[in-house]
Structure 1
Amino acid sequence: MKVLIVAGGTGGHIYPGMALGKTITEKNAEVLYAGTIHRMEASLFEKEKLPFRGFPLYRPGEKGLKFLCNGWTFFTIRRWLQKEGFDAVICAGGYISFYFGLAARLSKIPLYLLEQNVIPGRVTRLLAPHAAKVFVSFEESLSYFKKEKALWTGNPVRKKILNVCPRGKSLTILGGSLGARALNEAVLIMEQSGVLKAFDYPVLWITGERDYEKIAAAVHERPGLHLIPYCHHMEEIYAETAWVVSRAGATVLAELKALQLPGVLVPYPYAKDNHQKANADAMMQNGSYRVVEEGESFGCRLARAMEEITAGLSKPGPFSPMPRSRDASERIAEALL
């Protein structure tokens, strides 16, 4: 069987696709990957030595008027799909999935979708009627699709992360691959005022590449504070982590749940359909998380939520045990193959 996995844009789309692809490969299927030529997937797949083909696909307003060339790129993609003779196309979300999904449909290649968020994205909603199956990360997502169309599998997590046994003592701050401006600024104020140090945890602060230089210039070096622009090997970070302050992207939430790491979730407020808030609310149900939205008095509310988490960590059995995530990659591969 020959499978194409389409994954690009941010780590939230790329890493689940990569995790799924490796599982499918282990089952003796041939897997290729596709994405854009100019975003982070091109370098990530190269680093992992995975077969990848990039295409010039752009969002409106990105790289000037290059978006106008997407129509021509679509026909290039369709010809390539037909030439390669794929048996299945799996789209892991993001705007590029629209072009590959439509090309697969017109080429009569079975189409499968990964939906990481509680609230399905616009591309998923458009392509779902034409898909053989939609694999969803949250049980709450099933209601958005016909019963026979969707399967609740969880979100694929890289095996390197699934194999981690977190025994660290650090607070890890996760802003996502692109960073989180308001979160970084709030944490910076905590650091400058001594509040962050008062929590008495070593801090691993992943700022995102966009904010790294600004944050690094604004803080004074001290023992126990480690700034990182971005990390592609999160298993190393999680191994040192006791709790987190994090954005509420679906992929990082799947990793936190798999490793049973509690913390404070800060949804990105400008996500389409406010899907990170829905993700965070779904995670909060078992009591291991606090959700803090940006807005008025954000820094104060964030500090209070962090205090609640640390208070819980200091007590025996503070949080409800989180069920270990099922191996989503295995479930999807089983349904596919």
Structure 2
Amino acid sequence: MKKIIMTGGGSAGHVTPNLALVPKLKELGYEIEYIGTKDGIERKIIEAEKIKYHIIASGKLRRYFDIKNFTDPFRIVKGILQAILIIRRVKPNIVFSKGGFVSVPVVIAAHFNKIPVIAHESDMTPGLANRLSAPYCTKVCVTFPESVKNIKNDKGVLTGTPIREEILKGNKSLGRKICGFEDSKPVLLIIGGSLGSKFINDTVRKVINELLMKYNVIHICGKGNLDEKLNNKKGYKQFEYISEELPHIMNAADIVISRAGANVIYELLALKKPNLLIPLSKKSSRGDQILNAASFEKRGYSMVINEDDLNETILSDKLDQLYRNKDQYISSMTASPIKNGVDGIIKVLEQYSLLNS
């Protein structure tokens, strides 16, 4: 039986794309194991899927000064040694890395063990973990056409991003029923990323009465970000986080407000949901979401508001404009040549796995 070790962690965005590959890998006869950290979000997600999980140490990679910058390199070295032993014991045909700080020791360990490594970069430009890992990778799959040139030594392969099959199988009527919507007003879905966005939440809530005159509103606002005062608002349903019901909730949406993380915007593209993107500003990120949003705006898939420009008036006006022109956005997304990345990534994994059989 062919074996694959997967890795990636630190956020749900570094884990859930791995899950999109799992059904196809199992269908092809792969035995799947995972390497992550003891307390990372990846552990809970992966163990829930009954995939064998190995724990290693890993230091967080930072672009800013922190006292832990002096100790975390030793944790990374420890993680590399632990991953080397795990890989020698498991003897995988191939390793797949989705990035995040836990992936660096695993990728380096695979290289030392002469195991091919395929990495995937979701955003327009590589994150720090993937930049450090790239020299040890066999190929780096990328999501955006513009990204291929950012990968050195001809290692870049355009595949798109892997999308979970269940996201595409949601039921619109069930989504409305889950939220208790009884009228026929269009549904506005607000997603602030896996941790929510206080800035977006606050701006939306300032105009919630105006929005509810036009839309039923589903608000995924992040852990600890519920507003109890709004619980009894008719046509307004808020969630901290959604898992199993997410496909139905997303399918129920007529238009969407979202951050511009690569995973969510490619899900919106696959579902053909007209969307207004509010990317994280450079004040609180490396600017990857700004580049992601610009690419989607250029191709006619999204409308964009920069976070620094966002206020209640602009938000309301842009939403009205988005809804009026929703058919135009749907048409552009329908014509998109960018497809679900599962098959493209699997093709690369199969190619280099067979070479190592």
TM-score, scaled to structure 1: 0.89
Whether the 8 Å CA contact 2:35–2:106 is kept in 1: the answer is no
Cα distance in 2, alignment partners of residues 124 and 30 from structure 1: 25
Matched, 1:253 2:287: no
Distance 1:154 1:299, change over 3 A: same
Question: Which residue pairs with 1:307 in the alignment?
Answer: 320
Instruction: Give the residue type in structure 2 aligned to 1:196.
Output: L
Question: Which residue pairs with 1:2 in the alignment?
Answer: 3
Report Cα offsets for 1:121-149 as digits up to 9, x if no partner. 12222222321111001111011124731
Q: 2:151 aligns with which of 135, 145, 149?
A: 145
Shift, 1:292, TM fit:
0.9
Question: Which residue pairs with 1:22 in the alignment?
Answer: 23
Matched, 1:264 2:276: yes
Matched, 1:327 2:340: yes
Q: 1:122 aligns with which of 124, 128, 149?
A: 128
Matched, 1:38 2:42: no
Question: Which residue pairs with 1:50 in the alignment?
Answer: 51
Cα distance in 2, alignment partners of residues 133 and 219 from structure 1: 48
Question: Which residue pairs with 1:90 in the alignment?
Answer: 96
Report Cα offsets for 1:62-88 as digits up to 9, x if no partner. 999984534323311221111111111
Q: 1:222 aligns with which of 216, 230, 233?
A: 233
Question: Which residue pairs with 2:311 in the alignment?
Answer: 298
Matched, 1:204 2:230: no
Q: Which runs of 5+ in 2 are unaligned?
A: 177-185, 351-357
Aligned-residue RMSD, C-alpha: 2.4
Cα distance in 1, alignment partners of residues 348 and 78 from structure 2: 33
Distance 1:124 1:54, change over 3 A: same
Report Cα offsets for 1:20-52 as digits up to 9, x if no partner. 132212111111122222122221122222322
Q: 1:185 aligns with which of 202, 210, 214?
A: 202
Shift, 1:120, TM fit:
1.4
Instruction: Give the residue type in structure 1 aligned to 2:128.
Output: R
Q: Which runs of 5+ in 1 are unaligned?
A: none
Distance 1:55 1:231, change over 3 A: farther
Distance 1:36 1:218, change over 3 A: farther
Shift, 1:186, TM fit:
0.8
Whether the 8 Å CA contact 2:123–2:144 is kept in 1: the answer is yes
Shift, 1:166, TM fit:
5.5
Secondary structure (helix, strand or coil) at the match of 2:238 reads strand
- Deviation larger for 160-169 or 268-277: 160-169
Secondary structure (helix, strand or coil) at the match of 1:171 reads strand
Question: Which residue pairs with 2:189 in the alignment?
Answer: 172
Question: Which residue pairs with 2:113 in the alignment?
Answer: 107
Question: Which residue pairs with 2:353 in the alignment?
Answer: none
Distance 1:166 1:324, change over 3 A: farther
Cα distance in 1, alignment partners of residues 274 and 309 from structure 2: 25
Distance 1:154 1:129, change over 3 A: same
- Deviation larger for 32-41 or 163-172: 163-172
Distance 1:80 1:87, change over 3 A: same
TM-score, scaled to structure 2: 0.85
Percent identity over the alignment is 27
Instruction: Give the residue type in structure 1 aligned to 2:297.
Output: M
Instruction: Give the residue type in structure 2 aligned to 1:231.
Output: I
Cα distance in 2, alignment partners of residues 162 and 181 from structure 1: 28
Whether the 8 Å CA contact 1:92–1:113 is kept in 2: the answer is yes
Shift, 1:329, TM fit:
1.1
Cα distance in 1, alignment partners of residues 241 and 172 from structure 2: 19
Cα distance in 2, alignment partners of residues 62 and 158 from structure 1: 38
